[in-house]
A and B are shown apart, each in its own frame.
With several copies, the nearest count.
Chain A
Amino acid sequence: MTELNLTYEAAFEELSQIAKEIETESVSVDVLAEKVKRAAELVSFCQSKLKATETEVGKIISQMEQKTGEG
C-alpha cells in the first residue's frame, strides 16, 4: 500500500477523488470494496502524516512562543 514516494498532497488528492466517485455513486459494486480499501489506506496514511506534521509544528511553535516570552 503506502508507496514509498507517496506525498500527503497526492494521497489527499486520490482520497478526494475516491470520495467523490463514491458520493456520486459512479463506482460499481465490483470495485467498491477495492476503492473503499484504498480510501481507508489513504486516510490512514494522511492521518499519520498529519499527526507527524502537527507534532513537529507544535514543537517549533512552542519553542517560538517561549523565545518571544523571554524576549
Chain B
Amino acid sequence: MEASNRYPVATPGSIRLSELSARVSRAIEEAFSYTSFWVIADVTNHTYKSQKDYHYFELVEKAEGTSVLLAKFSGSAWGTGSQKIAEFEKATGQRFTGGLNVLVKVTVKYQAAYGLQLTLQDIDINFTLGVLEQQRQATLLRLVRDNPEHIRIEDGRLKTSNQGLVLNRVIQRIAVISSSTSAGFQDFQHTLENNGWGYRFSVDPYFALIQGDHNAGQLVDKIVAVYQSGVAYDALVIIRGGGAQTDFLIFDHYAIARAIARFPIPVITGIGHQKNETLTDLAAHTATKTPTKAAEFIIAHNRGFEQELLQLQKNMVIKSQQLLSAENRKLSMIRTSLVNNTRSMITGHKDALVRNNQITINTTKSILYRHRTGLNNLYSKLSIQPKGMLYKHQAELSIICRNLKTFSNLYSKSQENKLSHYASLIKLMSPENILSKGFAIVKAKGKIRGNADGINLGEEITVILAKQQLVATVTSKENHDGTEFNI
C-alpha cells in the first residue's frame, strides 16, 4: 500500500492502522459476510443524493423513553436498496427520512476508509405501515380523548362536529385551501366553472404549503384564516395538488384533524389517497378522492337542490290541478245531492200527507162502521131480551099456580087421612064396640070395677052386656093368672 509508506515501520508492540483495519476487515468478513440482518432502528441524519440515487443515514437505537443512545451505525442505500426505499415511500406515503422507525434488512460491511457501515438491502413496508397505523391510531385516540365535545367514535367510525353540520342548500361561496402551484386547484376551478347547468360560484383561495409534517402549523393557520375572514362560506374545500405521493402524511396530523373536526363550516376534502383515508378525511364533513371529485360533489349538491325545487314545483302543479278538480267534483256532488235530496224530501212529505189523509179517511170510516155495529148489537139485545125475561116470569107464575093447586089438594088429603085415622081409632075404642065382642062391664055398689077388690061373697053385682044387663050374686072368689089372653 502506498499510503502505508508514509508512516514509519511500527515500533515493537505496535501495528499499522491499516493492518488493524485489514484484521478487522478480515474478522468482520469472516463473521458477517454472506449474512444479512433484519433490524429495527430509528433513522437519523438522512440525506439523499438524487443524482446518484444514494441515501446516506444513520441507524440508532435509543434507550426506551430517553435519548440515550444504545447503538448507532452509519448506513447507506443505493441500487436495490434505493429502489426498495422508493417502493416503500410510495406504498406508505411516508418519506424515508430522519425520525422514522423502520425494520430494515442490512448487511454489515467494513471498509477500511469509511469504517463500519450497514448497507440497506430491503425495508419492511408492513412494519412501517404498522408503525404509521399505530401512530395514526394514537393520534386518533388522542383526538377523541382530548376533544370529547367535538370528536367521538360511533360504530367504529369517527364522528366530528363538522360532520354534524348541515350543508347549505346551495354551496356557492367556497373557501379553498390548496398549494398555489397545485394542479389540483386548477382542476377544481375548471370543473366548477365549466359545469353543465350554468351555476356560478365564488371561490376564495387560501394558499399554503401542503407537504411535510413541519408545515402542519401553517395549514392550521390557513384554516383559522378562513374562519377569521368573516365571510359566510358555504364550505371549506381542502385539496392537495397532485405532486409527490408522499405529501399526505400531513393530513394525519393531530392539529389539522382537530381543527377540521371543530371547524364551524362544512369541510370538503379532495386529497386523493389510494390507501385508507387520512384523519383529515375522517374528520371532514365530506371526503372525496380528488379535487375534481370535490367540485363535482358541489355541483351535484346544487343540482340536487335545483331538482328538488323543480320536483316541488312539479308536485305543486299536479296537486293544484288535482285539488281544483277534486273541488269541482265535490261541488258537483253536493249539487247533485242537493237536488236529489230536495226532491226526495218533497216526495217524502207528499207521501206523508197522503198517508195521513188515508189514515184519516179509512179509520174514520171504520170507526163509524164499528159504532154502527155496536149500536145494532145493543139494539138487537134490547129488542129480544125483555121478551125472554117476561116469558120467564110468566112461566114462573104458572108453576106457582100449579103448585098452589097441587099442594092444596095434597094438604086436604093429608088432613082427611089424619081425621079418618082418628075416627077409626075412636070407633074401635067405643064401649058398644068392645061389649059386642064378648066383653062385659062389672058394676058393684053402683061403680064400674076393673078388679075384684072390695067385692065380697054374696054381694050383688051388675054385669052389663052389649044388649042386656044381668044382676048376679057373687058365689065364689078365686084368682086366675090371666095368661089366657096374653097374646
Contact = CB atoms under 8 A, between A and B. Distances in A.
Chains A and B in contact, CB within 8 Å? yes
A19 B360 contact: yes
Interface in A15-49: 15-16, 18-19, 22-23, 25, 27-30, 32-33, 36, 39-40, 42-43, 46-47, 49
Interface in B367-388: 367-368, 370-372, 374-375, 378-379, 381-383, 385-387
Most B CB contacts (10 A, CB to CB) among A9, A22, A47, A57 go to: A22
Contact of A32 (B331, B397, B411): B411
A29 B86 CA distance: 74
A21 to B, nearest CB: 9
Most A CB contacts (10 A, CB to CB) among B316, B365, B405, B411 go to: B316
B346 A50 contact: yes
A32 B431 contact: yes
Given A43-B422, A46-B309, A54 B202 contact: yes
A56 B396 CA distance: 20
A61 B317 contact: yes
B465 to A, nearest CB: 14
B217 to A, nearest CB: 33
A68 B390 contact: no
Given A16-B312, A36-B382, A50-B397, A61 B405 contact: yes
Contacts of B356: 15-16, 19, 39, 43
B335 A32 contact: no
Contact of A29 (B309, B357, B431): B431
Interface residues of A, number: 36
B331 A22 contact: no
B198 A39 contact: no
B47 interface: no
A52 interface: yes
A29 B403 CA distance: 17
B336 to A, nearest CB: 9
B254 to A, nearest CB: 34
B357 A22 contact: no
A52 B412 CA distance: 11
Interface in A47-70: 47, 49-54, 56-58, 61, 64-65, 68
Contacts of B354: 68
Contact of B339 (A16, A49, A51, A65): A65
A54 B368 CA distance: 7
Contact of B398 (A36, A53, A68): A68
Most B CB contacts (10 A, CB to CB) among A30, A50, A64 go to: A50
Contact of B319 (A12, A19, A68): A19
Interface in B172-197: 172, 197
A39 B371 contact: no
Interface string B265-303: 000000000000000000000000000000000000010
Contact of B367 (A22, A49, A61): A22
A30 B401 CA distance: 21
B163 to A, nearest CB: 20
A50 B430 CA distance: 24
Contacts of B430: 32-33, 36, 40
Most A CB contacts (10 A, CB to CB) among B330, B364, B389 go to: B364
A43 to B, nearest CB: 5
A43 B313 contact: yes
A29 B347 CA distance: 11
B334 A43 contact: yes
Contact of A22 (B199, B349, B382, B392): B382
B407 interface: yes
B200 A53 contact: yes
Interface in B296-335: 302, 305-306, 308-310, 312-313, 315-317, 319-321, 323-324, 326-328, 330-332, 334-335
A58 B423 CA distance: 25
Nearest to A9: B169
Contact of A12 (B199, B309, B317): B309
16 contacts: A12-B415, A15-B397, A19-B312, A19-B341, A22-B359, A22-B367, A23-B316, A23-B381, A25-B319, A25-B348, A33-B431, A36-B430, A39-B316, A50-B390, A57-B346, A68-B332
Given A19-B355, A46-B419, A47-B309, 11 more contacts: A12-B419, A19-B378, A23-B341, A29-B345, A46-B170, A46-B415, A50-B305, A54-B412, A57-B320, A57-B364, A61-B342
Interface of B: 168-170, 172, 197-200, 202, 302, 305-306, 308-310, 312-313, 315-317, 319-321, 323-324, 326-328, 330-332, 334-335, 337-339, 341-343, 345-346, 348-350, 352-357, 359-361, 363-365, 367-368, 370-372, 374-375, 378-379, 381-383, 385-387, 389-390, 392-394, 396-398, 400-401, 403-405, 407-408, 411-412, 414-416, 418-419, 422-423, 425-426, 429-431, 441, 448, 450
* 8 tightest A-B CB contacts, nearest first: A19-B356, A8-B169, A39-B426, A51-B198, A19-B359, A22-B319, A19-B312, A36-B430
